[in-house]
Amino acid sequence: MSPVPPVSTLSRRRFLETAAAAAAAPLIVPSRVLSGPRAPSAQMTFGCIGVGRQGRGDMQELIYRGLETGARVVAVCDVNAHRREDAQWLAERIYAAELGPAAGRGIAAYRDFRELLARPDVDGVLIATPDHWHGVQAVAAAQAGKDIYVEKPLTFTLAEGRRLVEAVRRNKRVLQVGSQQRSSIYFRLAAEAVRNRRIGTLRRIMVTLPVDSGQGDPRPMPVPGFLDYDLWIGPTEQEPFTEDRVHPMTSYERPGWMQIERTCRGMIANWGAHMIDSAQWGHGTDDTGPLEITASGEFPDRGLFDVHTTFKAEAVFADGVRLIMASGEPGVRFEGDGGWVSADRGKVQASDPALIRQTPAPGETGLPASANHMRNFLEAARRRADPIAPVETGHRSNSICLLTHLAMKLGRRLTWDPSAETFPHDAEAAARLDYPHRGPWK
């Protein structure tokens, strides 16, 4: 047997130097000027929980859109000290470049998200932690009176999703799910064509998603001193540390946790949270779900990585519309008895170009439009109104992702009651609506 590989090491100074090089591009964005002077009391303040591969970019987007809307990042939080200090340094550097040296000081840094949530002067949080943390942290944020931007998928389990919906409503919070395709003109135009019946009666929706690949090394390693691994594990089962289980210790490359079922459900929840959400938008089923679902997936031996690779699935809705999901180039296609329309992140197409209209015709319904997902959230928070991807919408889209994953694992057709959100007469499936939390993570 080959020796256990050492944990990748990098000095804190070198890590920050490497991060600085990666940050150069965003910092040349032209300065944003506020629409007018704002009193300090009018400024919204935010903390960023999870500033890794996705969270670091989201933090920068929040900073720049905040400069346009009167919001400011005042704190960052991460269990990895290198990433935490890099985010603190980067945020201060951006504010110094945009607003002057004095503005580039005072960003607080936390290891434990609970310390950030305890601050009464923080109005909202950005959550971009691994998937198994989303629901726990978002519920805690809602209970702490914070508005929330949380990356997709919304939650790790179906029951957790309903708990979050109730927590947001009970505490009168604004929540935006990071389903950025709701702010894409391509997907909005496709959805408008379907909702206005330009393709006739909708019969079928095709969703295709990318495929995970590669191997994960399961051999245990010493936990690096700059990582609070126990807090990273949090609400899932305790497992020995190995770099492939968490994230690269010396870069912001794609993390291994995205291919491990205890922390992520795979592409069905990763890209599925985007494309299935777009399918729901066009179908007009943002507040409900399918009645039944069947699915199968490949689970080859890939070492530590155990999420599905290729898959296929079919869900049936009360109106008879069939949602077909499979591996392929990411996109969504709506088929009706009078034509079809499709969208991906680069274009929108139709069987007849006349089906796609920038402006709805007289008598047609236009869907909400957003040019920027983060700005939409900040404006909604200021207005105390729902953003374009609110919590119920995110929960219903994520529910289809989780139902598909469960159908893959059980290997049989599942009957689902979208009103009661349960499996009638299927105790085994119902037992998987939630998962046991470890320690204090209730």
Q: List all residues 6 or more positions away from 168 whose beta carbon is below 8 Å from its beta carbon.
A: 138, 142, 148, 175, 391
Phi–psi pair at 84, nearest 5 degrees: -60, -45
Determine the Cα–Cα distance for residues 351 and 348; give it in Å rounded to an integer: 11
For 432: left if phi > 0, alpha if psi spans -120 to 50, otherwise beta; the answer is alpha
Determine the Cα–Cα distance for residues 70 and 415; give it in Å rounded to an integer: 47
- Write down the pLDDT at residue 42: 81
User: Under a CB-based contact definition with an 8 Å cutoff, are residues 243 and 221 in contact?
Assistant: yes
Determine the Cα–Cα distance for residues 37 and 33; give it in Å rounded to an integer: 10
pTM of the predicted protein model: 0.92
Determine the Cα–Cα distance for residues 372 and 180; give it in Å rounded to an integer: 8
- Write down the pLDDT at residue 349: 98
User: Under a CB-based contact definition with an 8 Å cutoff, are residues 65 and 378 in contact?
Assistant: yes
> Which residue type, as a one-letter code, is found at position 391?
V
- pLDDT tens-place string over residues 87-143: 999 999 999 999 999 998 999 999 999 999 999 999 999 999 999 999 999 999 999
Q: Which CATH superfamily is domain 13-181 in?
A: NAD(P)-binding Rossmann-like Domain (3.40.50.720)
Determine the Cα–Cα distance for residues 422 and 426; give it in Å rounded to an integer: 9
Determine the Cα–Cα distance for residues 8 and 82; give it in Å rounded to an integer: 13
Cα–Cα nearest to 4, from 271, 291, 217, 204: 217
User: Under a CB-based contact definition with an 8 Å cutoff, are residues 116 and 49 in contact?
Assistant: yes
Determine the Cα–Cα distance for residues 236 and 118; give it in Å rounded to an integer: 23
DSSP secondary structure letter of residue 222 = P
Mean pLDDT (whole number) for 241-246? 98
Residue 163's pLDDT band, with cuts at 50, 70 and 90, is: very high
- Residue ranges of domains in the chain: 13-181
Token output for 78: 């991460």
Mean pLDDT (whole number) for 13-29? 42
